[in-house]
Structure 1
């Protein structure tokens, strides 16, 4: 049998919930319809009435969005409101696992780029054999990378041999480092495009700083979201996940 949420003795209108967060009353109704908020009671005239519990649910959802994204935050709140808190906790764990994986990816890219700094500026060109020996790989591997679009050597017009300039050597070194880190060719390709469009590795340092800052902000947002969700769980008069733990 379903239970009504405790209201703390107060009744709130949709506008009361919306006003403090810069939302429209329609947004509040949409959140309720989506299961982000518990179901509202109705007055005899059919008007929705909310409670402090609904206000806490709204705060929790809005706090979850920056760290987990709108879709996952919605799924978390839906799980809590239907009493399957374990599902909500699993979704949170998955977001943290994804964040950790993103941090590891950033670290691998930073290590690879660090090994390439400064960008090779040797005079003259090199050919497939010397470059393969420099990297400790087979010439066939360089040709595989070329077919994948990761390196783009030009052809000598007289001999038809592949000729690798400084930028090609840079790209090959970067691919080699990322391959050693376990990355697939299709995962490496977008980074190589960024290196080329930036004109080298050095301009990407600001991109990496921004990437690192965004990960830190997301981590802090997850902490804030967890605190708000915990506060909401503490306000709920019933919770299947909490009951199982006791």
Structure 2
């Protein structure tokens, strides 16, 4: 790539389908590397900026702005390990979603054909234990109970909430569906059907749809990670060409 390649703000804006102001915001926030200015103060974007923009837009599709933005900022701050740690954390979170989805699907399969829930000899769990099991706050369980989604019994004398196995199953399913942004009024009939019949076709469909959404997101994340890898390669190559890879403050120097 030649250093003679130059881009205006409007050129990059058209490439990404955003406004020229957004391109300027990207540069100011560190999503793009620092851009040199003309004597009159206009930004001069180069090939490195185009590559950074493509990497960021690809990351946005898979990881969202909450992860994509600090990833690029860390890269341009010279903290590549920190940027990759954010990528790793996003993949780990996605894996946890898959584990939760699998557990919910297993709970549904186990309850299929079993009819309405019956008392179990397994010990009941208190609200803190269920919250720890699901990885949520106890306040979330109380909100779900107030919305009529959960109906734990109360311990005689203390009034503590006690979650029997069927209640834990319901909490797990609510957690999974809320992760898919299902509103309470769509979750309630699903749980009612599950408690009444021991199974729910609507819930099965919802779990399948969530699985498909996670697969699509995984593919988008892989595409974004590939674009980031390509960009990091160009930054490394800049350093090998005999020009410092940073601008003196740890940030990659535009090529």
- The reply to whether TM is greater than 0.5 is yes
Q: Secondary structure at the match of 2:222?
A: helix
TM-score by length of 2: 0.68
**Cα displacement string for residues 201-222 of structure 1 (whole angstroms, at most 9, x for unaligned residues):** 2211221112101111111111
Q: Secondary structure at the match of 2:16?
A: coil
Q: C-alpha displacement at 1:15, in angstroms?
A: 0.6
Trace 1:232-243 onto structure 2 (pairs within 5 A).
Answer: 232-236=231-235, 237-238=238-239
Superposition RMSD in Å: 3.1
**CA 1:203–1:189: 2 relative to 1, 3 Å:** closer
Trace 1:213-228 onto structure 2 (pairs within 5 A).
Answer: 213-228=212-227
**Cα displacement string for residues 23-65 of structure 1 (whole angstroms, at most 9, x for unaligned residues):** 1100100111110000111111111110011010001011111
The size of the alignment, in residue pairs, is 199
Aligned: 1:9 with 2:4:
yes
TM-score by length of 1: 0.70
Q: Secondary structure at the match of 2:30?
A: coil
The residue that corresponds to 1:151 in the other structure is: 151
Aligned: 1:136 with 2:121:
yes
**Cα displacement string for residues 209-243 of structure 1 (whole angstroms, at most 9, x for unaligned residues):** 121011111111111011100111111124589xx
Q: Any stretches of 5+ residues in structure 1 without a counterpart?
A: 1-5, 154-170, 179-184, 242-246
Task: Name the larger-Rg structure.
Answer: 1
Aligned 8 A contact 1:113 1:174 in 2: no
- Taking the aligned partners of 2:2 and 2:37, their CA distance within structure 1 comes to 13
Q: Secondary structure at the match of 1:8?
A: coil
Q: Secondary structure at the match of 2:201?
A: coil
Match of 1:22 among 6, 11, 17: 17
Match of 1:114 among 109, 116, 121: 109
Q: C-alpha displacement at 1:172, in angstroms?
A: 6.2
Aligned: 1:203 with 2:202:
yes
Q: Any stretches of 5+ residues in structure 2 without a counterpart?
A: 131-140, 154-162, 178-183, 194-199, 240-244, 251-255
The residue that corresponds to 2:49 in the other structure is: 54
Aligned 8 A contact 1:7 1:51 in 2: no
- Taking the aligned partners of 1:102 and 1:195, their CA distance within structure 2 comes to 18
Aligned: 1:105 with 2:100:
yes
